[in-house]
Structure 1
């Protein structure tokens, strides 16, 4: 999608701070971090929200990438949070599915 911020990152038009990439997934540091480590994990294929994620294999790849990022960033042993916001009331701001990997501090509950 030509107007999608994350699709522009996948296409190389915008250069994010990439921490992980494979054939189907791109992960990069959030420009407005909410924790000491805040990485976004996205499918390279445009999927607007979690509601449209119809490919279980891609869903698994996104979760595996989130776990790989957490391990790479040194979060795996102490713990981390993986969050998906869906649509307006869920707090989604960019309508390209993305997982937030957050860590480096104690997470609060409930999140808000």
Structure 2
């Protein structure tokens, strides 16, 4: 009678040997996602998990092992967009209390007559 006591052997035999390659692929996918996030923002730390759950059921000396696998990675950071709310509740890309410095030269005589 062959006895199996090694966890790596058990995992290697689950699902007729198909679980171990699936787990390896899941770990690789998780690491790739984290590496991609790190490439986009090298100063931040990105963390993820791959969880394996083994469910054992024993009846009359026979054990059935069910497996579940789940991976989590952080949501990809999104860039913020900045707008200004103007008086009627609309959005503007220009600050409403600043003059547009790219609008071109202004007529100095018009400005002088307003301030007098």
- TM-score scaled by structure 2? 0.28
- Identify the structure with bigger relative contact order (alpha carbons < 8 Å, sequence gap 6+): 1
More helix by share: 2
TM-score by length of 1: 0.28
Is the radius of gyration larger for structure 1 or structure 2? Answer: 2
